[in-house]
Amino acid sequence: MNDTIATAIDPETRVTHHDHEALRLWLRLLACTMLVERHIKARLRARFRVSLPRFDLMAQLERAPEGLRMSELSRRLMVSGGNVTGHVDQLVAEGFVERRDVPGDRRASAVALTPRGREAFLAMAREHEAWIVELTAGLPAGDRAKLHQLLGRFKQSLPMP
C-alpha cells in the first residue's frame, strides 16, 4: 500500500480522536467517493483519454436524445465542474456532438450527441459499469445491498439544498 497516495486522497486522515461521530461518518463517505472517483478518472484517461467532466457531459446528453440547451446542460453539470462550452466545442469538432435549433426559439440552440457520439459514449459506459462492478466486488453482496438501502435512507433524510 502506497501511503503517500493514500493520504492524498483520503479525507479520513483528517479525523482526530475528539471528532464527532457524524463528522467521522461524513469524512468516510467522502473518502469512499473520492477513492472510487480516482479509479474511474484514471481508467477513463488510460483507456479512452477522456476526462470525467467530459464523460459526465456525454452521459447527460445520452439521457436527452432530443438535445439539451446549453443553459440546461451547464445546470446539470454544475457539480462536475469543467468548462462546459469548451468541452462542447471540442466534442463538436470531433463529431461527437451537434448543435440543433430549438423549435419556437430562434435565438436558442441545443446540443445533442451525434450517432457516432452516442456509440462512443455507450462503449465507454459499458466499460465504466464493468469497472464499478469490479470496484464494488470486494464487498459481499449482502453488504452492498444493505449499504444501498442505508444510503437511500440517508439521502431521503437530507434536507433539500
Q: Binding marks (x or -) toward a copy of itself, 92..131, rule CB under 8 A?
A: -------------------------------------x--
Closer of 79 and 93 to a copy of itself (Cβ)? 79
Least spacing, CB of residue 87 vs a copy of itself, in Å:
16
CA angle in degrees (0–180, nearest 5) for 73-54-123 = 110
Burial 99-126 (b: 16+ CB within 10 A, else e): eeeeeeeeeeebbbbbeebbebbeebee
Instruction: Give the binding range for a copy of itself (CB under 8 A) out of 44-52, 56-64, 98-106, 112-120.
Output: 56-64
Which is closer to a copy of itself, CB of 83 or CB of 95?
83
Work out whether 25 is an interface residue with a copy of itself (CB under 8 A).
yes
Residues 6+ apart with CB under 8 A from 15: 23, 24, 27
Would you count residue 46 as binding a copy of itself (CB under 8 A)? no
Task: Count residues binding a copy of itself (CB under 8 A).
Answer: 65
Q: In this structure, what is the dihedral angle of CA atoms 99, 62, 80, 106, given to the nearest 10 degrees?
A: 30
- DSSP summary character for residue 64: -
Q: Applying CB under 8 A, does 147 fall inside the site for a copy of itself?
A: yes
DSSP state of 63: T
Query: Which residue, 126, 98, 111, 15, is CA-closest to 72?
Result: 111
By the criterion CB under 8 A, which residues form the site for a copy of itself? Answer: 1-2, 4-9, 12, 14, 19-26, 28-39, 42, 59-60, 63, 75-76, 78-79, 81, 129, 132-133, 135-139, 143-148, 150-161
